[in-house]
């Protein structure tokens, strides 16, 4: 997936993030201070950086600005303060996205995936995805099952296209919420209902 640098001084949080992102096939390096992080960026340029703002050596905003002088890689800041003014300041100072502590591994992974997709348009999903008997044409927004056109709502199409682009992968409800619904929070039931409609249109029973 991607080379990710985690700058975080709490060794417990750091290990958990490393374990989680590694499990999701990212190549992870770490630093425990802002200055070590900046050194890492020069020695092993990452594709994405997760920067904790509560580091022992530099103030978070300062660390972010210094990071920006050495790399254009997307930076996700991890902040303990869920304050709008603070978050706006960080985004203005060069952060590409933020997560508020405590955050789940799933949440961070979804943010990383979204940022990487934006950062490299060349890696956008293929225009036509074919899985088993399914053919999904992104440009025409058309899905065929065994040659028969499926009558899908806009959301059902997006949901099917998202899942079909990830055959064999486990996709969490949280990820669907972020990537298909473009919402940070929501109701699991909404997703379940859409999935069950989609299954019905695909001719699947719940048991299958
Ligand atoms: Ca910290």
Cα separation, 2 vs 75, in Å, equals 13
Do the Cβ atoms of 45 and 71 come closer than 8 Å? yes
Alpha helices of the chain — where are they, by DSSP H? 11-23, 34-43, 60-70, 84-92, 105-119, 154-164, 173-179, 188-201
Express each pLDDT in 172-181 by its tens digit.
888 888 888 8
State the pairing for strand pair 128-131/134-137.
antiparallel
Per-chain mean pLDDT for the chain: 87
Distance 73 CA to ligand 1 centre (A): 21
Express each pLDDT in 121-133 by its tens digit.
554 455 677 877 8
Do the Cβ atoms of 178 and 184 come closer than 8 Å? yes
Q: What is the mean pLDDT of residues 109-134?
A: 76
What phi, psi does 121 have (nearest 5°)? -60, -20
Distance 7 CA to ligand 1 centre (A): 9
Residues 6+ apart with CB under 8 A from 24: 1, 109
Distance 116 CA to ligand 1 centre (A): 24
Q: Which pLDDT belongs to residue 166? A: 80
Q: What is the mean pLDDT of residues 107-128?
A: 76
Q: What is the mean pLDDT of residues 194-198?
A: 89
Distance 120 CA to ligand 1 centre (A): 30
Distance 10 CA to ligand 1 centre (A): 6
Ion ligand 1: protein residues whose beta carbon lies under 5 Å? 9, 52, 54
Q: Which pLDDT belongs to residue 80? A: 86
Express each pLDDT in 135-172 by its tens digit.
888 878 889 998 889 999 888 898 998 888 887 778 88
Distance 54 CA to ligand 1 centre (A): 4
Distance 166 CA to ligand 1 centre (A): 34
Distance 8 CA to ligand 1 centre (A): 6
Beta bridge mates, 78: 52, 99
Could you give the C-alpha distances from 29 to 13, 63, 107, 135, in angstroms and in order? 14, 18, 19, 38
Q: Which residue has the tokens 């890492």?
A: 40
Express each pLDDT in 34-49 by its tens digit.
999 999 998 999 999 9
Distance 177 CA to ligand 1 centre (A): 28
Distance 192 CA to ligand 1 centre (A): 37
Sheet of strand 27-31, all strands in order from the earlier edge strand to the far edge: 27-31, 3-7, 48-52, 75-79, 97-100
What phi, psi does 25 have (nearest 5°)? 70, 15
Distance 169 CA to ligand 1 centre (A): 32
Q: Which pLDDT belongs to residue 204? A: 77
Express each pLDDT in 47-90 by its tens digit.
999 999 999 999 888 999 999 888 889 999 999 887 888 888 88
Q: Which pLDDT belongs to residue 63? A: 92
Please tell me which residue, 207 or 115, carries the higher pLDDT value: 115
């Amino acid at each position: 997936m991607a080379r990710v640098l985690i700058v975080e001084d709490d060794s417990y949080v750091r290990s958990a993030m490393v374990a989680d992102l590694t499990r999701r096939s990212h190549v992870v390096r770490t630093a425990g201070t802002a200055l070590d992080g900046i050194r890492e960026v020069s020695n092993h340029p990452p594709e994405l950086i997760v920067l904790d703002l509560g580091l022992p050596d530099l103030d978070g905003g300062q660390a972010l600005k210094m990071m920006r002088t050495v790399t254009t890689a997307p930076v996700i800041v991890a902040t303990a303060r869920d304050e709008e003014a603070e978050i706006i300041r960080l985004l203005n100072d060069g952060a590409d996205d933020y997560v508020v502590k405590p955050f789940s591994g799933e949440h961070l992974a979804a943010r990383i995936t979204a940022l990487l997709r934006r950062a490299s348009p060349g890696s956008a999903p293929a225009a036509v995805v074919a899985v088993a008997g399914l053919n999904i044409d992104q440009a025409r927004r058309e899905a065929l099952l065994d040659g028969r056109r499926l009558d899908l709502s806009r959301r059902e199409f997006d949901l099917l296209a998202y899942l079909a682009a990830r055959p064999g992968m486990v996709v969490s409800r949280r990820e669907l919420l972020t990537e298909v619904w473009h919402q940070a929070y929501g109701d699991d039931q909404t997703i379940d209902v859409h999935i069950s409609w989609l299954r019905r249109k695909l001719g699947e029973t719940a048991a299958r």
